[in-house]
Amino acid sequence: MLSLLKADLKRRHNKPGNVFLGLVHRLDRPVGGVMVFAKTSKAASRLSEQMRAGHLGKRYLARVRGCPDPREGELEHFLLKDSTTNTVRVVEEGASGAKRALLRYRVVESDADSNIVEIDLLTGRPHQIRVQFAAIGCPLVGDRKYGASSGEETDLALWSHEVRFNHPTRDEQLAFSAPPPWV
């Protein structure tokens, strides 16, 4: 995505040489939706600081198997990443290398075998949403890494639905959203 956007900026603005483009909000490979890029290093720095300070709002939609109980609430876990297997697992608080993961959720739509959950991500850990919902017995549809049935032949049902932040140079709140293809 980064290479495609750099090429587009170079072409559209007729820029010679390399084009700067900073990736501020990334997504796991199988996740779709809104991403945030910065066209200048100053903007990238300011947006990254908003992200570190927890001022960049990230809302996701996910289709999960089963129904979280309660239908609205917070999930807090401590997660540990295994870089050799590129997996994350829930561990006890205080485990060496574990990081706190926090999100808010609410069920927004239900059908016979799954529920659509709206998620406000309060921390941004690798595979956080996928691992936390699997830990409560509600794996994401299509998530073969964290609990979907092996016969399930569908893409991961996780979508970066909305991102909110302050413009890096103007006093202006910005919000960008995109609906997932499965809603």
* Inter-residue contact 21 to 37 (CB < 8 Å): yes
Given a contact cutoff of 8 angstroms between Cβ atoms, the answer to whether 142 and 156 are in contact is yes
CA angle 9-160-45, nearest 5°?
50
Measure the CA–CA gap between 158 and 172, rounded to whole angstroms: 29
CB 108 within 8 A of CB 118: yes
Question: How far, CA to CA in Å, does 44 sit from each of 64, 97, 109, 119, 122?
Answer: 33, 28, 36, 25, 20
- Residues with Cβ within 8 Å of 15's Cβ and at least 6 positions away in sequence, in order, are 9
Nearest Cα to Cα of residue 172 among 164, 181, 180: 164
Question: Catalytic: which of 28, 82, 111, 143?
Answer: 28
In angstroms, the Cα distances linking 146 to 137, 149, 174 are 10, 9, 33
| 28 labelled catalytic | yes
* Residues tagged active-site: 28
